[in-house]
Amino acid sequence: MNTTPSRTTTPPTTTPPAGTTDPAEGTADAVTEEATAQDSPVKESEPEDAPGTRFDAADPTTASNDIAEQDDDGDDDLEPDHFDEARHGIGAGAAAVVSAALGVVALTGTWTGRVAAERETLIGQIKTSGGGSASQQISEIYGDAWHTTALVNGVFAVLALLVGVFVLVRPAFGAPFEKPQPTWIRAFALAGVALGVLGVLISAGMYFDLFAALPSAGAPAAG
């Protein structure tokens, strides 16, 4: 009979030496490194100078000022110069109004024409003061004054016609402009041309005695 007590075998517990890593901890570190390696390509693929990067976020005031300056430059290029537009229309408008006024003056008569007619009348009276026939007196005193009035009115009518035509044809021969000629300017210019043509016709008819002939003196009755 064996009297020696039985021994229970206990698995020895080994402590890893200093400086070594626990296998469980090594496994956790390996998993962490693998996840980091998978995320790193995505981060590296981001461009450094993409919109909204650190530069823009660091200085938003500069970016906003640059955008505002670009918008102002674009607005200055697109907006027309109102001063140039007004200056372009002032000359043409004034000329059109002058053309219409000259046409009206050519039809109604002027102070210049009246003075010239009175002068011719005075000259005729002086010429016939020493004697002359009745036909000569009519021609010198009345006919010359009539023709002088028609001539002066005809000159104003021609001026109205020329100024109106100039205003109408000016856009075709001058420097090109973005906007067409205003309607009211063309209306005044056309009115000046029409009145000028009418004044020329009437003045020519008066000067050449087409509408009414000079009166003639009758033959003296035989005594």
Own/partner long-range contacts of 43-46 (Cβ < 8 Å, ≥24 apart) = none
pTM: 0.60
Q: Quote the pLDDT of residue 56.
A: 45
Burial class of residue 149, CB neighbours in 10 A (0-12, 13-18, 19+):
buried
Residue with tokens 């005695």: 209
User: What is the structure's pLDDT at 159?
Assistant: 97
Residue 210 is predicted with a pLDDT of: 92
CA geometry: angle 112, 200, 156, nearest 5 deg: 30
Query: What pLDDT, on a 0 to 100 scale, did the predictor assign at position 182?
Result: 86
pLDDT digits (tens, 9 = 90+) for 144-195: 999 999 999 999 999 999 999 999 998 877 666 667 788 999 999 999 999 9
Instruction: Calculate what percentage of the chain has a pLDDT beyond 90.
Output: 39
> Between 121 and 10, where is the model more confident?
121
Q: What is the mean pLDDT of residues 101-120?
A: 94
Mean pLDDT confidence for 63-71: 56
